[in-house]
A and B are shown apart, each in its own frame.
Chain A
Amino acid sequence: MKQLFKNILIILLVGLCVQSTFAQTSSDNTIRGKIYSAADGGLLMVNVVEVDQNNRIVSSTTTDAGGNFSMKIKSKTNKIKVSYIGYEPQTLTIGDRKVFNVQMVDKTALKEVIVKAKKTIDNGNLAIPQREISTAMQTISSKEFAGLSVSSVDDALQGQISGLDIVGNSGDAGSGSTMRIRGITSINASSNPLIVVNGIPFETPIASNFDFASANQENFADLLSVNVDDIESITVLKDAASTAVWGSRGANGVISINTKKGVKGLTRIQYTYRFSGATQPQGMTMLTGDDYTMLMKEAYFNPKQSDAASNIREFNYDPNFSEYQDYNNNTNWMKAVTQFGVTNDHYIQLSGGGDKAKFLVSGGYYDQTGSIIGQKLQRYSTRMNLDYQVSDRIKFSSEFSFTYTDNPQNYDGLLGIAYKKMPNLSIYTQDANGNDTKQYYKMLSSASPQFSGKDDQMSMRNPVASANLAINDVKSYRIIPTFRIQYDLLDPQKQLLRYKGYVSFDVNNTSTTKFLPKELSSGNWFDGSIDLAEGKESRNLSISSDNNITWLPKFENTDHSLMLYSSFQFGTSSSRYQQIISNGIPTGTITNPTAGGYISNFASGPGNGRSMAYMAMAHYAYKSKYIADITVRRDGSTKYGENRRWGTFPGVSVAWNVADESFMKPTSKWLSTLKLRPSWGITGNQPKYEYLFYSLYNAYSSYMDISTIRPDNVQLTDLRWEKVTSTNYGIDLGFFEDAFTMDFNYYVKRTDDMLFEKLAISSSSGFSALTYQNGGSMDNQGWEVNFHANKFIKTGDFSMDFNLNLSNYVNTIISLKQDILANANKEFSYTNGTYLTRIQENNSFGSIYGFRYKGVYQYSDYVEGRKGTSPYAFDVDNHVIRDAKGNPLPMYFGSGTNSAYKFKGGDAIYEDVNHDGNINELDMVYLGNSNPLVNGGMGIKLNYKSLSVNIFSNFRIGNKIVNAGRMNAENMYSNNNQAASVNWRWRKDGDLTTMPRALYQSGYNWLGSDRYVEDGSFLRIKYMQINYSVPSKLLKRFYVNQMTLYMTINNLVTFTKYSGVDPEVGYGAFGVSTDGNQTPRSNSFTAGISVAF
């Protein structure tokens, strides 16, 4: 393989040498002449150039005022090319001719020419005609999201591609999203798809000891550095046969983005401006300060039945309390931390070019103020694409993109705090008369000890103060210059043998500045969080290169077509980060961690990685009817030990255009396309970290004055690639000249040698976990349907488009190492708020187990014959169970364990499934699954003349969500503020309600039960967009070519039974969706204008 490749390169090299010696032969000859037109006579400044066989310019001149020229030519065998704006260019052979008098013909005089071409899809390697595609891929044009104001591509793609599930991590400005193509193939290795921009993998190299656990936000915020306006089209590669070209990186699917390129013609300027406004959706209604204090006094009283327990001065409204004014308020924290968010998005693009060179330059400025106070996102981006055609056979191109992002984020999760913070507290310190001063109020360290627990009120910072005083600023810039060369070794008109190569650099630097001033901390001056400053810089540079040869052999019989492609890629990346955290910075105005406080953490880490791959592809088509593709890729990575370094990833796919068969003639009237396309392939996944196969000795700290070094890890000599084998069956259908098109895919993916990260090993080894382990197999089965109706209704100026996509997958564990299973399946911990999750062989992820909630015990004691519930055991026939003495048997929780608890009136009723008077794990039942039955998207487009209305909605049906937000707001278990619904709580014997009594740090009223498991089905009108192109007649006067106005309403309405704010919840650990009240997607509108000159 390597040898073959070397040979090809040598041939290529030799070929070039021959070319160049040939070109250098020249003879001394002068030619002259006159260029004129019938209307104007001699033409001034006409370009006269001598070109060689490959259309490369050898010499050139221009005509004078009379249209005359003279020039020395290099060779008689070359040609003369004459061109002038507005006229048809002419090419003349030289031979022995010395005088050239040429009449130019006006371009407008030409007849209309009809160009016929096949639509091709470029997957980054080969441009294959669309009808010959044999794999599962889907392309979306940028027109589909032209009017949306989105900060990154993932937002635009949401719901557009079947099988691509995108869930925003949160609505925070600058936060990323989770993307899954065809489900989760790996439990612990990365499941994010590979992003490819213009054929080059777009990745962020990561320092070897980078802490992933704390970096969730950064997931795919990466994509922020690609401006959506620069995108021409996006192709999503879904099956293994198509992603096998990306081998070890393609296991999670590939999103291939192509950016816009310059087009020949006059320079065109396009300017777009969009304005958006966003508001936070209405969340839970929380208790007022007055209701809250009443609740808390009950919550403290109930467990001990003692007034002393509930005598807490912060709840007492005692005017003698020194902080009385600060604890007697009704603060709406939610309102205090939300605002009207505004986005301004400017984009300007220049493009144009001539025969030789084409260019596109763009610049964008995006400025967002979040709908939560204190969040901002500013992005400056620019992109430059240049193509230069040296000759018909040599082409250079260069791309350059630069993005700078400044993203001041919140230091704390403000919304989370706002839901929990006690509402009787004031935002600002109040004077003796209850008027706000300018100082933010913080709970004093002398507050009652009940508030000083971990994550309790005292440590909950004042969210308004946090937004305004604390700093958490992430700045990053990314520069990606790329140089490309393309050379045809043979005359492309006869036979295409093309060498292409690129070198691409990717510079990605990020700096994070954090500062927490002392005004926000209740602790004393020695506390580690006083004037806490943190600085983190990371620098990444990666270089990647690809050299490939494409060969399209010519056959006598044009029924055969063959494309061969082979490539050699290599890449190297290096990264480094430095982090310094210090506290007790001398003054609150200095926010730099180097200012001389106590350094609490100093870390740095370098990372280095290299990769190498060989790849070969063949595409064969017979009459464009029978199609076969083969891909083989061999990947080498520095992440594996010597014996496991290389992985081979093949892909095979075939397609049959049944509709072209003669026997399909009868149906051809209505059935325009029928294509069957099975495919098979293997892709891989690699761990995130480098150096795993080394045993590393790392500096630790010191003991006395002796510096210490310790072995850091267990050497992974046996770690293997995670392999994903997938089979895809696809059908493409088209009806009535493809006015209706439909495609259907069914796939089975098997993941073997699943990578498990940080899986616990017996700690008697001295280590808590192995960094990675191969541990089992998993299946994903799924289907996808796409349906498009293009202008299926068309009456006069009105037309209508419709598209729908549906998909779903089922995930099944096939086998897992025993200790992995044991590890993942936690025992029931007898604590509130937790659900049992189970990973079992032959079962899917995401099943939820818990108790059945049956309301609230109305009475404490059992009275024979009285209606109403009381906490006593009943048998199957609903008779009370009595003990030996004839007393009714009380209902217990966890009897026989350390957590045993006797239920009382006002406590939650859990169904005693086995009627043993004891609520324990044996009473747990299956409560549902987080996997949806189906999810998808639907779009309708109405066109009337130049007005169009586009409505897009996405939906998910049949999934269960654990509403942890509500659980925390209704448990009445801590000092956190609660939802207004708890006003319906049980207060005294006989109360009939479904809301249990308040019990501070006691009882079992919020065990994981179906009370909080909700149906997460939803249908969301994601956006409605109205688009109006101003008729060009009106624009001509202002020298404007084109003007479009649009208006979009995002997140228009959501139909759902889910009681939380936003049913679009991502998958948590082991596939259970848990909604913890992250910043939900905001409601927003966008108005924009786009003008082209």
Chain B
Amino acid sequence: MKTLVIKIILVLLIVSGFTSCSDWLVVQPAGKVVLADYWKSESDVESVVATCYRAMLDDEFMRRIMIWGELRSDNIIAGNGIQDPENQVLQANIIPSNELCKWGSFYSVINYCNTVLYYAPTVIDPNFTETKLHAKEAEVLTLRALCYFYLVRVYKDIPLVTEPSILDTQNYQVSQSTEDQVLDKIEADLLQAENWAMVAYSTTQYTKGRITKNAVRAILADVYLWRNKYPECINYCDKIINDRIATEKLTDSKVTNDVGSTLIQDEESPFRQIFGQKNSSESIFELQFSTANKENSKVYDYYGNFVNNAGQFSASTFLGTGVYPTAGVYPATDVRRKDNFKALAENGLFHIFKYAGLYRSEDNLGVSSYNYRSSTPNWIFYRITDIMLMKAEALVQLDRDDNDLTAALHIVNTTYLRSNPTVLPTDSLKFSNYNSKQTMAELVLLERQRELMFEGKRWFDLMRMARRDGKPDKLVYIVIGKYTDNQTTIKSKMSEMNALYMPIHQDELKANPKLKQNPFYDVQGISTSTH
């Protein structure tokens, strides 16, 4: 018995006395990697780069892309079961407590990008060559620029963060940079990325789902257009267009020097390939959703789905009820009218079909039947017709002579005729009808709306117009058309340019006292904290 006692005490002694205290208190987390052990190889970099894309699939990110780009425009009204925050945005009743004013999901992506930019150059791996490093840097520089481009278009002045957030001792209270500072940084980053980015990847899915040289150029063209730098915009649109013509020529002898000849021609519509089959040849950059990674639940909820064709959003009534030019935006012959939403009105609503659906087929009598997909449409950021119509817009604005306008009309006719297959080329849109800068600008705007409806573009198209005008009147005139009541109130809430930008969420203002609220939303700022 006594020996047992000694043994027990000895064990305790060893455990307590001879184990160094500091060693005992170091516990490595199980099942997780710590920073010190990360950033050792190329695959470590690849995994975090993939995170940057993956974070964009998150519902909160997708939600904002759709709300900011589409819901505020004239394309959309409330569908079935729209939620409060969305409805408030829709009613132009945006208050700083609305959760849709939160921008955290964008800065999450930005922070992942910053992390890659900070650590990737420190990776020592013989396989990880400088070219590979630059290619990865180009990807994240571009994604970061894309996020900032969204933020600057939606909020105007925003904090510009380019360092990763690692330690609690860092200063996280960053004040806003001006719109121009942010746009300058975006431009600079994209120009750098253009040099470094890959032309294509090993598979089509990678080429469409990741950043390529053309994706960089597409964003750059968009940025130039936003900044009214039309020649630069045209230049970058042409880079993409010429590259496309060259690539397509290699495989298809019918391709001419006109980009129109490279467009997908489909018996019923190109819709099936672009949105149904995904990653079409027309696509430049699209976010890849799948059941394994992440379902596109925001499209599922907002635009509708195979279970419930009625989504929380509905196409605006005026789009469906009339036929262009007397009302609506589509002529009777336009297949996009049937592709973008179900013309059949239920409860007075028009169900959005683009993205939500897989394909539409038409019987001999011209009756469409709609086939839905599960829940994994991709989200297309840029496709070729967008680029073409960007160029058209830039040409119209430049308006150096009639050649610019004719060139713009030619582009419009290209996308228009493709979607109006029953119209003879000779019946195309005539220059005589659109021979002024004003009328041509309206036509391009209209064609962009027809072509890119529900793709998160419309609000920014209108914003560019309002920014050029320096006042929101025309934008308001267009948008107000979708409202049946409260028009006066809504008008008053869009009465000045600042009102077109979102307010900064009140929680952000509290967490970061250096932020300044958009003055339009600051009027009711009777501080309650002085009680």
Q: A residues bordering B, Cβ < 8 Å?
A: 2, 5-6, 9-10, 12-13, 16-17, 19-20, 23, 208, 390, 394, 449, 452-454, 485, 487, 499, 501, 524, 526-527, 545, 547, 568, 570, 604-612, 636-638, 645, 690-691, 694-698, 700-704, 706-712, 714-719, 760-768, 770, 773, 818-819, 821-823, 825-830, 836, 838, 849, 896-899, 920-922, 924
Q: Which B residues touch A16, using CB under 8 A?
A: 2, 5-6, 9
4 nearest CB pairs, A to B: A766-B111, A762-B512, A763-B104, A695-B35
Cβ of B34 and Cβ of A694 under 8 Å apart? yes
Contact call B167/A501, Cβ cutoff below 8 A: no
A828 to B170, CA, bound (A): 31
Please name the residue on chain A nearest to B209 by beta carbon. Answer: A704
User: With A208-B29, A612-B24, A697-B32 known to touch, is A763 a contact of B102 (CB < 8 Å)?
Assistant: yes
Instruction: Scan B1-38; emit 1 where CB is below 8 A from any A CB, else 0.
Output: 11101101110110111000110111101111111001
Q: Report the bound CA distance from A485 to B46 in whole Å.
A: 56
Q: Which residues of B contact A696 (CB under 8 A)?
A: 29, 32-35
> What residues of chain A lie closer than 8 Å to B471, measured between beta carbons?
none
Complex alpha-carbon distance, A612 and B9, angstroms = 18
A761/B511 contact (C-beta < 8 A), A710-B51, A718-B168 known:
yes
**How distant is A853 from chain B, measured CB to nearest CB, in Å?**
19
Report the minimum CB–CB distance from B10 to chain A (whole Å): 7
- How far does the Cβ of B491 sit from chain A's closest Cβ, in whole Å? 14
When distances are taken between beta carbons in the complex, the residues of chain B under 8 Å from A394 are 1, 5
14 A-B contact pairs sorted by A residue (CB < 8 Å)? A2-B21, A16-B6, A449-B80, A607-B30, A608-B30, A610-B27, A638-B25, A697-B32, A697-B33, A710-B55, A764-B107, A822-B510, A920-B526, A921-B526
Which residues of B have CB within 8 Å of A452?
80-81
Among A487, A690, A709, the residue within 8 A (CB) of B33 is A709
Q: Which residues of B contact A607 (CB under 8 A)?
A: 30
- Which residue of A has the minimal Cβ distance to B506? A827
B174 within 8 A of A: yes
Residues of B205-256 contacting chain A, CB below 8 A: 205-206, 209
Task: Determine if B127 is an interface residue (Cβ-Cβ < 8 Å).
Answer: no
- A701-B81 in contact given A13-B6, A694-B29 (Cβ < 8 Å): no
User: Contact at B29–A485, with CB atoms within 8 Å?
Assistant: no
Complex: how many Å from CA A18 to CA B526? 82
B526/A708 in contact, CB under 8 A: no
Q: Are B27 and A608 in contact (CB under 8 A)?
A: yes
Quick check: is B83 within 8 A (CB to CB) of the other chain? yes
B275 at the interface (CB under 8 A from A): no
- Is A19's CB under 8 angstroms from B2's CB? yes
Q: How far is the CB of B96 from chain A (nearest CB, A)?
A: 8
The 0/1 profile, CB within 8 Å of A marked 1, for residues 181-225 of chain B is 000000000000000000000000110010000000000000000
B513: interface (CB < 8 Å): yes
Kindly identify which residue among A703, A763, A920 contacts B53, using a CB–CB cutoff of 8 Å. Answer: A703
Do residues B529 and A825 form an inter-chain contact, with CB atoms below 8 A?
yes
With an 8 A cutoff between CB atoms, is B531 at the interface?
yes
**Contact of A501 with B12 in the complex, beta carbons under 8 Å:** yes
Residues of chain B within 8 A of A526, CB atoms compared: 306-307
- Verify B1–A706 contact, CB threshold 8 A: no
With contact pairs A454-B83, A691-B29, A698-B32 given, residues A765 and B111 touching in the complex (Cβ less than 8 Å) = yes
Q: Are A715 and B107 in contact (CB under 8 A)?
A: no
Does B102 contact A714, Cβ atoms closer than 8 Å? no
Known: A9-B9, A768-B104. A708 touches B47 (CB 8 A): yes
Complex Cα distance, B116 from A709, in Å, reads 11
B165 at the interface (CB under 8 A from A): yes
A interface: dominant SS: mixed
Chain B residues with CB under 8 A of A819? 173, 510-513
Contact of B16 among A499, A547, A707 (CB under 8 A): A547
**B112 within 8 Å of A (CB atoms):** yes
- Check if A485 sits within 8 Å of B107, measured CB to CB: no
CB within 8 Å for A763 and B21 given contacts A449-B81, A702-B293? no
- A819–B10 Cα distance when bound, in Å, is 53
For A773, the chain B residues whose CB sits under 8 A away are 168
Q: Which residue of A lies closest to B91 (CB)?
A: A898
Residue of A nearest to B307 (CB): A526
| Residues of chain B with a CB closer than 8 A to A637's CB | 25
New contact pairs (5) apart from A762-B511, A825-B529, A838-B529, CB-CB < 8 Å: A2-B21, A485-B5, A691-B32, A695-B34, A701-B54
**Cα-based distance from A608 to B9 in the complex (angstroms):** 26
Q: Does the CB pair B25–A645 fall under 8 Å?
A: yes
B526 to chain A: which residues have CB within 8 Å?
Answer: 920-922
Complex alpha-carbon distance, A828 and B15, angstroms: 58
Interface residue? B133 (CB, 8 A): no
Asked if B159 CB lies within 8 Å of chain A CBs, one says yes
B48 at the A/B interface (Cβ < 8 Å)? yes
B172 close to A (CB within 8 Å):
yes
Q: Tell me, yes or no, whether B288 is within 8 Å of chain A by CB.
A: yes
With the chains together, A144 CA to B372 CA distance in Å? 69
Contact A921 B528 (CB under 8 A): yes
B482 at the binding interface (Cβ < 8 Å): no
Specify which chain A residues have a CB less than 8 angstroms from the CB of B170 in the assembled complex: 714, 765
Q: Inside 8 A of B8's CB, which chain A residues have their CB?
A: 485, 501
Chain A residues, CB < 8 A from B209: 703-704
Given A524-B307, A606-B30, A695-B166, A763 and B3 contact (CB-CB distance below 8 Å): no
Complex-state Cα separation, A143 to B476, whole angstroms: 78
Give the docked Cα–Cα distance between A709 and B38 (Å): 10
Given A9-B9, A696-B34, A718-B169, are A707 and B25 also a contact pair (CB < 8 Å)?
no
Do residues A823 and B31 form an inter-chain contact, with CB atoms below 8 A?
A: no
A483 and chain B: residue at smallest CB distance: B8
Interchain CB contact (< 8 A) of A715 among B104, B168, B172, B524:
B168
Flag if B513 contacts A818 (CB, 8 Å).
yes
Residue B329 lies at the interface, judged by CB distance under 8 Å to chain A: no
Q: In whole angstroms, how far apart are the Cα atoms of A277 and B292 in the complex?
A: 52
Which single residue of chain A is at the shortest CB-CB distance from B507?
Answer: A760
Flag if B161 contacts A764 (CB, 8 Å). yes
B272 CB–A CB distance under 8 Å: no
Distance between Cα atoms of A218 and B364 in the complex (Å):
65
In whole angstroms, how far apart are the Cα atoms of A922 and B53 in the complex?
47
Q: CB of B57 within 8 A of chain A?
A: yes
- A454, chain B: closest CB distance, angstroms: 7
Task: Select from chain A the residue with minimum beta-carbon distance to B206.
Answer: A704
Q: Are A700 and B54 in contact (CB under 8 A)?
A: yes
Q: How far is the CB of B508 from the nearest CB of chain A, in Å?
A: 6
B205 CB, min distance to chain A CBs, angstroms: 6
Within 8 A of A (CB), among B79-120: 80-81, 83, 93-95, 97, 102-104, 107-112, 114-115
Partner of B108, one of A706, A766, A818, A849: A766
Q: Which residues of B contact A826 (CB under 8 A)?
A: 506
B93 adjacent to A715 (CB under 8 Å): no
| Residues in B whose Cβ lies below 8 Å from that of A485 | 5, 8
CB distance from B434 to the nearest CB of A (A): 40
Is B50 in contact with chain A by the CB < 8 A criterion? yes
B516 touches A (CB below 8 Å): no
A716-B510 in contact (CB<8A): no
For the complex formed, measure the closest distance between the CB of A974 and the CB atoms of chain B, giving whole angstroms.
Answer: 13
Q: In the complex, A762→B164 CA distance in Å? A: 13
Please name the residue on chain B nearest to A608 by beta carbon: B27
Q: Which residues of A contact B29 (CB under 8 A)?
A: 208, 606, 608, 690-691, 694, 696
Find the residue from A568, A704, A821, A828 having the highest chain B CB count within 10 A: A704
Contact of B172 among A501, A695, A765, A830 (CB under 8 A): A765
B5 neighbours in A (Cβ, 8 Å): 16, 394, 485, 487
Q: Which residue of B lies closest to A900 (CB)?
A: B489
Could you tell me if A390 and B24 are in contact, using CB atoms closer than 8 angstroms? no
Residue of A whose beta carbon sits closest to that of B82: A453
Interchain CB contact under 8 A, B27 and A715: no
Cα A66 to Cα B151 in complex, Å, equals: 104
Which residues in A have their C-beta under 8 angstroms from that of B509?
822
C-alpha gap A822/B530 in the complex (Å): 12
Task: Decide if B437 is an interface residue (CB 8 Å cutoff).
Answer: no
Contact A763/B51 with A695-B35, A829-B97 known, Cβ cut-off 8 Å: no
